[in-house]
Structure formats: C-alpha cells, structure tokens
C-alpha cells in the first residue's frame, strides 16, 4: 500500500512536469480526463462579460454586454465575430439598444436577439434577427410575453422557448414559437420564479438549472419535454452548490455546469458534469482558470470554450478551451 502511494505521487509529479512546456494542462483525477488550453489572455474585445454568444455559420458571435470599449457599468450594442474563437472583428454597433442579461439564439438559420436590460436598467421586450450578423431586422419592439430579462432562450424540436420571470417578477413563464413571430404561452406558472438560470435541450428534454430569486439561489433542476408540464428532477447524487450567472452547456453527450455566483460576494470555480441529469460528478483535477460569473461556455469544434466573465479584478479577456480526452 505504501509503495502504491509513492508511485501515485511520482506519477502526479511527472504529469505536472510534462505540462510546463506549454499552456496545455491535462488532468486525470476524475473518471474523465480534461485538457485545458489558454488560447489568449485578451482578445480584440479586451475584457468582456454579460455578452450573449452563439456559434452560427461556423463563426462565434458576440452581442451586447460589457467590454473594454464601454465605461464602467455601461453596456454595449456591439456585434463581434470570430472565425476561430480567438481573433475577433467588430461587425456593427448601434443598430439596437445597448443591453445585458439578454439572449442570443440560433433558430431557423438566423440569430435571434431577445430582451435584456438597457443602460438605465429598464427591461426590454424587443426581438431582432439576422441571417448574416451584419443586417438586423426588428421583428417587434413589444413581444407578447412582455419585458424579459435574465431569461433563457432554447431550441427544442423545431420550437424556440423563452423561459423566464414575468414582467412583474412574480411568475415563471414559458412561451414558444415555430417562426419567431407568432408566439404561444405554454404556461404562466411553470415553477417558482427565478432568473439568471440556465436552460439546455438535452435528451429531447428542456432542463432549467439553478438561478435565483430576490432572496435565494437554487441548485434545483426542472425538466419538461413540452414546455407546459414541469417536474423537479430527483437528483441521485451530490450536486453543485446553489448558484446563478453560471453556464450549462451540452458537450460530448454530457451537460457541463461551470463556475457562477453562490452569493453576493462569493464566486465559485468548479466544473460539474452529467450524462443523465440525475447523477452529477464534480471534476476534481486542477482547474487553471479563475472563478468567474457572467461568462460564456460554448461547444465549438471539438472542444468546450470558456469566454471572459467577471473575475475578482473586473472583466476577464481570457479564452480557454476544455477538451475531454
């Protein structure tokens, strides 16, 4: 037993030593192996957070949020794109109102921008779309679901679902559309109200993960296969701490929850994953990036990409990839 422990320590030291030649860090502590690669310390956007990002037509797109070109606590209407996730170009700005806590979603071969808050902290109810990221069309300034912020917009079975707090912040509402123009209210009270949650479409089901209300944060998971009927998922394992402003992303047939905010002053740094939404595992290897919130995680190419976010010192410009070996 003592010999085995010495051998394990030796192998661990060797693995760390082998990673000193470049920025790639590989860990094998969990039942999975992850390789982390710092792609850039800062890109053309500088530090950025609260933006909404998608992969569309082979490029990564970013809209709105906080970046290096805005004053403190001022958000932008900027549209940026990258054909490799690292080098960015400014595409356009000032087409729609500057915003944060909005959503950007790919649906019916277009990008759809919905809601958020403006620089006066007023809730927005507009919908915009674009098929090239350059020209944007205003679908409506008054969406039927009303003002919407800190919501999610997710596609499942050829429908786009908006899931978030009602305008008066009392109910959790769900609306859907097949064309982005005509909307149907699926439910006016899906489950206890919250915002800053995450939603994924996984295994033909919508899953709402975490979030917060006026007083509490959650680590609950709610599920629905139609947007109408919702059930609280009975977790069969330990699970991540209650949080909001985290990310949940489908990658390699798993859902990955990364970082977030657990209370007003505490930002977490961890990675949790699940292949069935019932059993969750925390990645117990070395995580080389900082704790963050209001960042973005996207499945892009063969990797999970982590973009920006708020860290202790302010906005981060770092872009990392996470590769499950």
pLDDT in tens, 248-304: 999 999 999 999 999 988 999 999 999 999 999 999 999 999 999 999 999 999 999
Give me the residue spans of the domains in the chain: 34-324
Determine the pLDDT at residue 112.
99
Question: Given a cut of 90, is residue 102 above it in pLDDT?
Answer: yes
Determine the pLDDT at residue 18.
38
Using the structure block, give the residue that is written with the tokens 């999975």: 32
Task: Report angle CA 36, 243, 291 to the nearest 5 degrees.
Answer: 35
Cα–Cα distances in Å, from 270 out to 80, 189, 241, 290?
28, 31, 10, 10
Determine the pLDDT at residue 24.
53
Determine the pLDDT at residue 73.
86
**Per residue, what are the HEC states of the chain?**
CHHHHHHHHHHHHHHHHCCCCCCEEEECCCCCCEEEEEEECCECCECCECCEEEEECCEEEEEEEECCCCCCCCCEEEEEEECCCCCCEEEECCCCCCCECCEEEEECCEEEEEEEECCCCCEEEEEEEECCCCCCEEEECCCCCCCCCCCEEEEECCEEEEEEECCCCCCEEEEEECCCCCEEEEECCCCCCCECCEEEEECCEEEEECCECCCCECCCEEEECCCCCCEECCCCCCCCCCCECCEEEEECCEEEEEEEECCCCCEEEEEEEECCCCCCEECCCCCCCCCCECCEEEEECCEEEEECCEECCEECCCEEEEEEC
Q: Per-residue pLDDT tens for 212-239?
A: 999 999 999 999 999 999 999 999 999 9
d(CA 159, CA 29): 39
Cα–Cα distances in Å, from 226 out to 59, 77, 191, 276?
30, 33, 14, 18
Cα–Cα distances in Å, from 8 out to 4, 19, 26, 28, 36?
6, 17, 16, 12, 22
Tell me how crowded residue 289 is: count the other CB atoms within 10 A of its CB.
21
Q: Per-residue pLDDT tens for 23-75?
A: 555 444 458 999 999 999 998 999 999 999 999 999 999 999 999 888 888 99
**Which two tokens mark 320?**
């990392």
Task: Report angle CA 99, 187, 207 to the nearest 5 degrees.
Answer: 70
**CATH topology (fold) of 34-324:** Neuraminidase (2.120.10)
Nearest one of 254, 260, 290, 261 to 275, comparing CA atoms: 254
CB 294 within 8 A of CB 245: yes
């Amino acid at each position: 037993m003592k010999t085995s422990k010495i051998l394990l320590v030796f192998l661990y030291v060797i693995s760390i030593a082998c990673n000193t030649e470049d920025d790639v860090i590989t860990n094998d502590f969990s039942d999975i192996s992850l390789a982390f690669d710092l792609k850039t310390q800062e890109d053309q956007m500088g530090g950025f957070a609260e933006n909404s990002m998608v992969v569309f037509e082979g490029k990564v797109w970013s809209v709105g949020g906080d970046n290096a070109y805005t004053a403190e606590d001022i958000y932008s209407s900027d549209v940026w794109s990258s054909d490799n996730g690292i080098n960015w170009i400014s595409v356009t700005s000032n087409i729609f109102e500057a915003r944060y806590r909005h959503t950007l979603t790919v649906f019916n071969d277009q990008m759809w921008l919905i809601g958020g808050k403006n620089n006066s902290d007023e809730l927005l109810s507009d919908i915009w779309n674009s098929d090239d990221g350059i020209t944007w069309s205003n679908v409506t300034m008054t969406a039927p679901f009303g003002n919407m912020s800190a919501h999610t917009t997710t596609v499942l079975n050829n429908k786009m679902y908006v899931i978030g707090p009602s305008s008066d912040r009392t109910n959790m509402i769900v609306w859907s559309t097949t064309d982005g123009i005509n909307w149907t209210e699926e439910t006016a009270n899906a489950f206890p109200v919250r915002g800053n949650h995450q939603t994924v479409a996984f295994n033909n089901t919508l899953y709402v993960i975490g979030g917060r209300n006026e007083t509490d944060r959650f680590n609950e998971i709610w599920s629905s296969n139609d947007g109408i009927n919702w059930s609280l998922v009975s977790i069969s394992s330990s699970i991540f701490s209650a949080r909001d402003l985290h990310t949940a992303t489908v990658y390699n047939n798993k859902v990955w929850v990364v970082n977030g905010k657990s209370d007003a002053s505490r930002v977490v740094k961890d990675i949790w994953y699940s292949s069935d939404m019932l059993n969750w595992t925390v990645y117990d290897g070395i995580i080389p990036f900082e704790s963050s919130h209001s960042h973005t995680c996207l499945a892009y190419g063969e990797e999970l990409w982590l973009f920006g976010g708020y860290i202790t010192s302010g906005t981060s410009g770092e872009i990392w990839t996470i590769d499950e070996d």
